[in-house]
Amino acid sequence: MSKKLKIFALITARSGSKSVKNKNIRNLEGYPIIAYSIIAAKLAGIERIIISTDSNKYAKISKKYGGEVPFLRPKNFSKDSSLDFEPINHAIKWIQRYEKILPDFIVHLRPTTPLRDPMVIKNVIKKFLKIQKKICSLRSAHIMVESPLKYCLRNKKGLFVGINKNSTPHSISFPKESYQTGYIPNGYIDIIKVKEVLNKKRLYGKKMYIYITPQVMEIDSKEDLEYISYQAKKKKFKILNYLKKNIRHTNTKRDLQKS
């Protein structure tokens, strides 16, 4: 009998965002933004949901919604310049050292992408498990409206420079159907092999599978937050419905946006 593979969710939520202060716990329809990723992982059936944060306040809020916070992330892995590798590597090594276990895979969920469908997450994991021996990692992406091959750069003289070596000022006017489809990596879900992180010091490796998800918006500005709030009301997302049925509203103005 083959062993059951261990899959943990890791939600990385540092507190020092400058674009939108405390964006990971801002109010979204009565609940902190981070709650949406925790509930998404729960409804997708992921074994453990671990939060990597540098903030006691974030930790307290995360626990209320069912996230585990076994450690606080060191400040040197919580900077604006910190790469995803740093908190993920730290979390894996902490679990290995203090719990004496290791998951096989990490499902990385960024809290700034709150409006996911848990069934999509389930389907992504199912697909990954089928092909995981042939790939190094998985990232979600959605289809670009225009192929990136139609885009251009601009040199110091203000003149056209093609993204593709075959691009010309004339060719970028061709119909989009003439070009290969482009994809934008998004924050829906990443799946990472723990052995890639520990043995090869990298997240994605050379064979990263691109899983196409519905287009999803990430919060990088106050305008993004306003638009996502509008979407949450309009489209009746499963996660918001779950929160309303199972968890009492938070006093968000006092508890979440207090600075």
- The answer to whether residues 112 and 153 belong to one domain is no
- Provide the residue range defining the domain that includes 157: 145-181
Give a yes or no: residue 62 inside a domain: yes
Q: Are 153 and 163 in contact, with CB atoms under 8 Å apart?
A: yes
Handedness of CA 7, 28, 60, 238 (dihedral sign): negative
If one counts the domains in the chain, the total is: 2
For the residues of 76-102, what is the DSSP string, one character each? GGSSTT--THHHHHHHHHHHHHHH---
Give a yes or no: residue 259 inside a domain: no
What SS3 class is residue 191?
strand
**What average pLDDT does range 181-205 have in this prediction?**
95
- The answer to whether residues 47 and 99 belong to one domain is yes
- The answer to whether residues 136 and 105 belong to one domain is yes
Q: Each residue of 196-242: pLDDT tens digit?
A: 999 999 999 999 999 999 998 898 888 998 889 888 877 678 898 89
- The answer to whether residues 234 and 207 belong to one domain is yes
**Residue 210's domain is classified under what CATH number?**
3.90.550.10
- The answer to whether residues 173 and 75 belong to one domain is no
Work out the number of other CB atoms within 10 angstroms of the CB of residue 9. Answer: 27
Confidence of residue 1 (pLDDT cuts 50, 70, 90): very low
d(CA 25, CA 114): 11
Q: Each residue of 75-118: pLDDT tens digit?
A: 877 766 678 899 999 999 999 999 999 999 999 999 999 999 99
Give a yes or no: residue 210 inside a domain: yes
- The answer to whether residues 221 and 242 belong to one domain is yes
Report residue 136 as tokens.
Answer: 């190094």
pTM score: 0.89
Give a yes or no: residue 258 inside a domain: no
- The answer to whether residues 137 and 159 belong to one domain is no
Predicted confidence (pLDDT) at residue 13 exceeds the cutoff of 70 = yes
Give a yes or no: residue 1 inside a domain: no
- Angle at which helices 33-43 and 238-246 pack, to 10 degrees? 100
- Return mean pLDDT, the chain: 89
Look at residue 122 in the predicted model and tell me its pLDDT: 97
Lowest average pLDDT, out of 65-79, 144-158, 234-248, goes to: 234-248
- The answer to whether residues 49 and 152 belong to one domain is no
- The answer to whether residues 85 and 163 belong to one domain is no
Q: Residue 1 burial (CB < 10 Å; 0-12/13-18/19+)?
A: exposed
Look at residue 20 in the predicted model and tell me its pLDDT: 80
Give a yes or no: residue 2 inside a domain: no
